[in-house]
Structure 1
């Protein structure tokens, strides 16, 4: 080996060294380095250093060269279909690139593997990061997107360069794992990739099983499998070379994988196979070696996750790769186009073509049928498999036996014999969860491999040898073909013998092997999961099929039994078997297999009975008895196999009919409807779950349809975390059409489940609403994903009443300052932002990048200083709507807003100041605003004590010709007839006034005030169209919320001592202390005593105050709470308050926010119910003033009843819980303390 260094000798030029390393064999000539296209000035110095190779490197090089040659010879061919025995296909001629992704697994998917490729049931929420199989051991040099540190499943680091030693590649059967291994090895052997690896050792678990009880040193084991290592006389060579171990087929292994095994670090030390494997994987044995493990999904947990540096998944073919495969396999371009077109038109076939083996099957069938001009192309799965069986059988006869059948649908006696033997083998092996068998197994079923492969045209096409392995093992070309032949055997056994092969007499059921376990040679080995076919029924007795003794078994009995067994399978491992069994009874398949006796009497009648039985299952009204979505969809597909399309047509009609339509959609029908939407090529404009007449469970099952709609409205549907994951998956689809998403009021929806979707580069949401969901802990991560993710910001973001905190304020500030800010509408009302947090949000409005037009901040903490920021923003921003309802900004805040409102650049059209503690002083600034060239068209001042004097000031602005105000809200503003006179006069003096909507309800206009305003309403000269004067009266002339005072009377109960006027309750019975359990909040708190009020409230606004000591709960329930109603509770519990929204029924929806509570003691709360608005607010009243704590937002449609729950106090003086309801507003402050003291004395 020589190393050359070339540098310019001139001292005037910088030295630019050019180094090269050259390797050559003895007596070889190498011209290097070669400098092409260079302009060199001055002298050039060439320094040569020669390194003589050592004996060890010579041996390693020699072994590597021999190993490459052997592996190249072994892997340069691939077996597909008839390319066998002397006529193989070159790997590179047929190989099509596979879609392989990098990502962490989220646990074991126990569904049938065919379901796992269906996007309807995709459960992974990780981003699809593609990777080439030759690069699986290379770290990513590019930056990964930073994610929020709260997301434990992602890494926030940049420039990830960690060493990749151990890679796990998972994938379902037939998806291409072994082909990927073959590609990697062949590229290495042909020196096209990964030449930094010296040796590759291929150790299939299937082969290791044969020596599982032997003891070897690692050196001995490797020499057993790779004869090339005979030159390695000792173990010193292993440390001098870079090695890759490939362990193919983890799911086939019988090893225990005890990672607590003793440590082994010497390659020459004998040990058990399990010890060798665990030490290699842990890195004790040859720590510098690379390890590649392949497995089907269910077995990957055998290896601890912390020992895997990279998880990859073979996902099969993408849509483009499917087309590439068909074009490579079919030389006729026109024919290939027709095959591709038919696959695209048949959604079920298109999905299954993600698996390469299905592409081969479908190509084989369609190529033959299209060439011969068959009119009807098969669309059912059973017919496709049946035709494949016939085509392969006859093709084998023609190619190898030189015979051509006159009737291509006729099977020879030998073929029929082999098919039935293979069917029995398939069925009985599936009962034992075994899909790999030996030559001895074949002989046990009367199958001689050598003889049968010559006599029969079917054997070698359905059963394959595994050419990679030393020991001959056999399996069907795919698990689904084993299921097809198993169903074939069961149906034929019934047709010929009248017995049900699914019911056998055995002493015990088959061993409970894992569904994906390949071999049954070791009966002691089993995964913990249930058997693949544990749904089959068994009876005690002999091993013979069970005949029905009393009445003749019908085809319907057989099919019904299969349906019932399939529904018992939680993981769907009987789904394909069931579809094949039902499909084999249909006429097209019977015609194809006319040489085999499969017909039974009264077949059509029995099929109709089975169809009706399946429809009854899908029509089950009790959600608790309804099968899972996957099983329901499989039942629907069974109907299609039985050629019944009526149900599909009936269910599709529900997309266009209203909520009140009868009959009601069952949960199973909702699963089917979602599936039909997903299978359709059309995109729904809107999916509104509340429009469907169904249950909560039914709505949850409709959620997958979100992948095929532009607007998804799912508010208040009882969605769960799993629903959130489904939505996240939809957002990760590169082709997803979703632009508007409403998930508000889903209290069980855990927002973390959405983050992976919201953080996807394919998320293109323009409108997102997650209001009334608890973002107390996840708000920052969700907001970061929405506003700072690798995608455009949404235009509208609604986060109303989500309990998010100040950590979200910084994210909003950054979003406003971002040059990519697209946000136009933001609602963050009724959250837990502090004054400082809100201050940072409002600072962001001044950013030149912020184009926000609508900002809603109801129920927020906004100081006078914050109003200064708002005012400055109004001068320069694009704000057109600003809502500050219930923000208590007071007159000082309006004064600070005034300069911004007066700015000629202010574009504000809507201003909401409801219940902001305003007085007449604010009206002066607002009147001046209206009288200028302001563009304010809507002003809401409800629930502020403006009084007549304040209204008089507003009237000055209204009568100015410059006023463009169209809507004015003055409800509950302490207005009498004088104020109404001012309003009427202002409008009379300004006939051109644009005011068309005036709300003066909950005031005391008197008869005169009503007449003055009503005359204006009826006068066509004025634009006034809407006028509200309802709920008026003398009682409305009260300060604050007292104008809505509601007297409460408590129902007497034996558990309580009530005051004579029913305004107070006390003296609980003795029981142990029991408080609301925050960890188990749904449980009924039986030790709380409840007291309901007599009053049923509806249709208006109501206010009452309550004083208590001890621990109590203030609640509001509708008439059916506890059955199907709702309950709103505000609980004072030890050192905290917390609010709960409960929806009764089978599932409770709970929304909880927690607030710290001052030192326990006598407290006073104000409770304000606005029934039409659907709000229930709680205020803490103290000497320092009124502090708003929490507001529920809901919808009331039934009368509601105030309720109190009491518990034993922990106060040191022994006083028990006491609640005192209010007197009238006039007498309340005089009598409350006296009544309270009376009750305290009574207790003591």
Structure 2
């Protein structure tokens, strides 16, 4: 993207920047430093540490070696914080040196957060101090308005200061409430320039790119912390007034808004806004009303001051949460707009008019929505568009600790989920964490009650997780009275209709249309009410619960025609809305999964199970072509994984000995799915995972089953030194079948050599190893070479192309002559030069079994190149190239 390429900073521009900063007094520089503190930490964590340290050293600010050591020993976060603290303590000149260094780094490191703060500093620097102060103390108001704002803040504090953690029936009779400052966990919010019509279910799509965002895309990823939502936007070259925040259901949009409002009401955030008005779309169900009435309905005490409040629109912020939950179809580009806050309009017209600035021109607006709702919304009218990606890995673990409030139990639960890729992948979603923790807490409770219970009965698939969740609800209610199966069928039919029509919010009429009895004791276990009579709406506790009930209904009330239609429709949706439904319906085909519900609702339809298995069998691609849609293949594999039907996989896919996923991004969940398929197929000949962007978590998921494959290709996956421990586990497996392994073009360095050496030494099957295009040169490389040189080493083909070998390594290579199994060696594209050539020549002449050696592009002189040609006549049995 053009705006992320940065610019070529000239010496003149650097001089101008230096002069501009030099004009500020020390207290102003301190204000700027504090203002940008969190941004600076994130930037220093993300950028190459040596680059920033060299720039600082060049300006005599800091020593390189000291901080390199800190980063290596204590991590990026500790390095960033310590460096910034030391710079602040060193005074004005060092602080100026940091800013100059960052300005110079634009050329080679155009990180969007870096570009953003430099842009904000240069574009708004003259006004930045007063803007910072305005956000701290707020605008000057009349005595009456100050009293009114104080009452408004107190009201919002009371509404937002507690986070309610719902407890499923069976755990406790009441929900638990905690102060928001104690339990709120940071969410990842990133810039997002457009909302595509996603070909995948949004939950799966976001989960898939989550690790990608965390580990690889940081060079192009702009982090947006809550205090930056209404700060200078580098992309739009302005301070935004209209902001859109997107996120999948349950990812924390409402909680983020609650924390935002709490921080404003508490005086910690954006005091430039004299008044913040917080609404939920699901509660705005009036056919027509005015903006003034909308505010008075929610905040009646503002009635007498509303006209005065409207006189300063720039001091107002309107927050509308859950665009996707609105009863009405809101078109933000509609032509009908209003200008009068007292005129009667639809909610859509009012919101559109605020966003388009015809109503209260100068006000600020913040809207949240699901991504799928935004695929049809023109988002260009917003000044900032961002997306909540959910929890960082550390926040996931913290959530478990908060939930269980017992370190041992929390650690046990998190370890179980961390080892289960199917469950862990979705833990970026807070509400999903809640469901997982709820189910595991039940399992722990059952273990105490029944000592024979083991971890084997813990959920292993997403379907089992939700079946366990539902069984707990039903167990609680079955103690009081019998379970009404008809109620479950009715609510399941409504759920399915909602999945098909993208409906999250249901009316009283919807419930009546599907014969859902609102007086049933089960209602509150599935849906929650919103709004005030007569405008009450209902929604499932989570979208995934809605999708599970939509699948379950076909096992509760089996109809061959209805089931077939549902399967075909779900598979046909281009936006992937039916994918989780299909995975659940596949998962319920497993008898052990269905048995979790049997004690409460009896036997689920075995005929439905057979029908689904037949559907799965017909759906499995038997032949791969060049035009095969890999995403569709992986979706089929995921359904098979949920079904846990290894016999079906083996009979349908087992004959396919060659899997090629090269150049297709494999998320950790895909790797979990692929591991089940490999385990079921038992003996795969070739698995090509080249350029699949497999990272640490994905590798962990795959390794337990990779030993069954003969040829494994990990080319170009950016694997790192810490990942070699997984490679060791793979190669040292007692039943390892791997004969060919490619680790070509990854991020391995000499630090990986010791682990590689141990792995190769313990392995009995490996015949071909390609380590080319890694930076292996270093002292530890000799350990690896020693193992490759022993007579018992079985490796026949060895790739050491472009691994940064210099002349002094040439002599060490002579030891390879001892390995009489070695027939093909590639040491091209290194730096041996003429100085290293005599040893390479000796290796060629002395190696007893060598059939081919590649030595081109090694900085040889013409004379040496000529000698190589002559060498061919002395060893005609060896191909030299």
Same fold, TM-score > 0.5, yes or no:
yes
Written as runs of structure 1 = structure 2, the 5 A alignment for 1:230-245 is 230-232=303-305, 234-235=307-308, 237-239=310-312, 242-245=315-318
How many Å separate the matches in 2 of 1:228 and 1:493?
Answer: 52
Q: Offset of 1:348 from its aligned partner? A: 0.6
Paired position in structure 1 for 2:158: 73
Q: Does 1:59 align with 2:140?
A: no
How many Å separate the matches in 1 of 2:472 and 2:586?
Answer: 22
Contact preservation (8 Å) 1:487, 1:578: yes
Q: Offset of 1:346 from its aligned partner? A: 0.9
Contact preservation (8 Å) 2:487, 2:517: no
Q: Does 1:501 align with 2:598?
A: no
Contact preservation (8 Å) 1:99, 1:130: no
Q: Offset of 1:432 from its aligned partner? A: 3.0
Match of 1:194 among 248, 270, 277: 270
How many Å separate the matches in 2 of 1:226 and 1:651?
Answer: 62
Match of 2:178 among 90, 110, 115: 90
Indicate the larger mover: 77-86 or 576-585: 77-86
Change (3 A) 1:470 1:205: farther
Paired position in structure 2 for 1:584: 588
Change (3 A) 1:275 1:96: closer
Contact preservation (8 Å) 1:852, 1:879: yes
Paired position in structure 2 for 1:360: 434
Paired position in structure 2 for 1:222: 295
Q: Offset of 1:178 from its aligned partner? A: 0.7
Structure 1 counterpart SS, 2:391:
coil
Q: Does 1:426 align with 2:495?
A: yes
Q: Does 1:112 align with 2:117?
A: no
Change (3 A) 1:426 1:735: farther
Higher relative contact order (CA 8 A, sep 6+): 2
User: What CA RMSD, in Å, does the superposition of the two structures yield over aligned residues?
Assistant: 5.3
Structure 1 counterpart SS, 2:273:
coil
Change (3 A) 1:98 1:651: farther
How many Å separate the matches in 2 of 1:344 and 1:703?
Answer: 22
Q: Offset of 1:825 from its aligned partner? A: 10
Match of 1:329 among 378, 387, 403: 403
How many Å separate the matches in 2 of 1:614 and 1:208?
Answer: 43
Q: Offset of 1:649 from its aligned partner? A: 8.2
Structure 1 counterpart SS, 2:595:
helix
Change (3 A) 1:220 1:388: closer
Q: String of CA shifts for 1:89-112, please: whole Å, max 9, x gaps.
A: 235287331322222235322421
Structure number, greater radius of gyration:
1
How many Å separate the matches in 2 of 1:358 and 1:183?
Answer: 20
Change (3 A) 1:501 1:880: closer
Structure 1 counterpart SS, 2:311:
helix
Q: Offset of 1:482 from its aligned partner? A: 1.1
Paired position in structure 2 for 1:871: none
Change (3 A) 1:600 1:171: closer
Structure 2 counterpart SS, 1:465:
strand
Paired position in structure 2 for 1:210: 286
Structure 2 counterpart SS, 1:419:
helix
Written as runs of structure 1 = structure 2, the 5 A alignment for 1:535-614 is 536=565, 562=567, 564-588=568-592, 589-590=594-595, 592-600=597-605, 607=610, 611=613, 614=616
Contact preservation (8 Å) 1:327, 1:336: yes
- The number of aligned residues is 614
Q: String of CA shifts for 1:118-151, please: whole Å, max 9, x gaps.
A: 33797878534444334422348xxxxxxxxxxx
Change (3 A) 1:440 1:17: closer
Change (3 A) 1:57 1:378: same
Structure 2 counterpart SS, 1:313:
strand
Paired position in structure 2 for 1:163: 239
Match of 2:466 among 374, 377, 385: 385
Contact preservation (8 Å) 1:620, 1:666: no
Change (3 A) 1:473 1:664: same
Q: String of CA shifts for 1:501-550, please: whole Å, max 9, x gaps.
A: 346xxxxxxxxxxxxxxxxxxxxxxxxxxxxxxxx46xxxxxxxxxxxxx
Change (3 A) 1:663 1:764: closer
Indicate the larger mover: 62-71 or 228-237: 228-237
Q: Offset of 1:664 from its aligned partner? A: 4.7
Kindly indicate which of the two structures has a greater share of residues assigned to helix. 2
Paired position in structure 1 for 2:124: none
Written as runs of structure 1 = structure 2, the 5 A alignment for 1:9-88 is 57-82=142-167
Q: Offset of 1:390 from its aligned partner? A: 2.3
Q: Does 1:639 align with 2:617?
A: no
Structure 1 counterpart SS, 2:601:
coil
Written as runs of structure 1 = structure 2, the 5 A alignment for 1:653-692 is 664-665=657-658, 678-679=671-672
How many Å separate the matches in 2 of 1:671 and 1:645?
Answer: 25
How many Å separate the matches in 2 of 1:302 and 1:672?
Answer: 26
TM-score of the pair, normalised by structure 1: 0.43
Q: Offset of 1:276 from its aligned partner? A: 3.6
How many Å separate the matches in 2 of 1:796 and 1:1026?
Answer: 31
How many Å separate the matches in 1 of 2:400 and 2:230?
Answer: 31
How many Å separate the matches in 1 of 2:719 and 2:354?
Answer: 37
Contact preservation (8 Å) 2:168, 2:473: no
Q: String of CA shifts for 1:893-923, please: whole Å, max 9, x gaps.
A: xxxxxxxxxxxxx95859xxxxxxxxxxxxx
How many Å separate the matches in 1 of 2:515 and 2:661?
Answer: 44
TM-score of the pair, normalised by structure 2: 0.58
Q: Offset of 1:207 from its aligned partner? A: 3.7
Change (3 A) 1:429 1:908: closer
Paired position in structure 1 for 2:625: 623
**Structure 1 stretches of 5 or more lacking a match?**
1-14, 19-52, 141-153, 398-402, 406-411, 504-535, 538-561, 654-661, 683-691, 711-725, 741-757, 768-792, 798-823, 828-849, 855-877, 883-905, 911-935, 942-953, 955-964, 972-996, 1000-1023, 1031-1171, 1174-1244
Written as runs of structure 1 = structure 2, the 5 A alignment for 1:830-1229 is 880=831, 968=867, 997=871, 1024-1026=874-876
Change (3 A) 1:565 1:424: closer
How many Å separate the matches in 2 of 1:364 and 1:274?
Answer: 38
Change (3 A) 1:114 1:277: closer
Q: Offset of 1:487 from its aligned partner? A: 1.5
How many Å separate the matches in 2 of 1:314 and 1:612?
Answer: 39
Change (3 A) 1:669 1:645: farther
Contact preservation (8 Å) 1:623, 1:667: no
Q: Offset of 1:294 from its aligned partner? A: 0.6
Change (3 A) 1:909 1:344: same
Q: String of CA shifts for 1:447-506, please: whole Å, max 9, x gaps.
A: 443x32xxx2x3212212237999432111111111111112111111xxx554346xxx
Change (3 A) 1:167 1:367: same
Paired position in structure 2 for 1:703: 692
**Structure 2 stretches of 5 or more lacking a match?**
1-24, 29-137, 448-452, 676-683, 701-713, 728-744, 751-772, 778-799, 809-828, 839-856
Kindly indicate which of the two structures has a greater share of residues assigned to strand. 1
Contact preservation (8 Å) 1:166, 1:309: yes
Contact preservation (8 Å) 2:189, 2:224: yes
Match of 2:546 among 482, 488, 492: 482
Structure 2 counterpart SS, 1:89:
strand
Q: Offset of 1:197 from its aligned partner? A: 2.1
How many Å separate the matches in 2 of 1:315 and 1:163?
Answer: 23
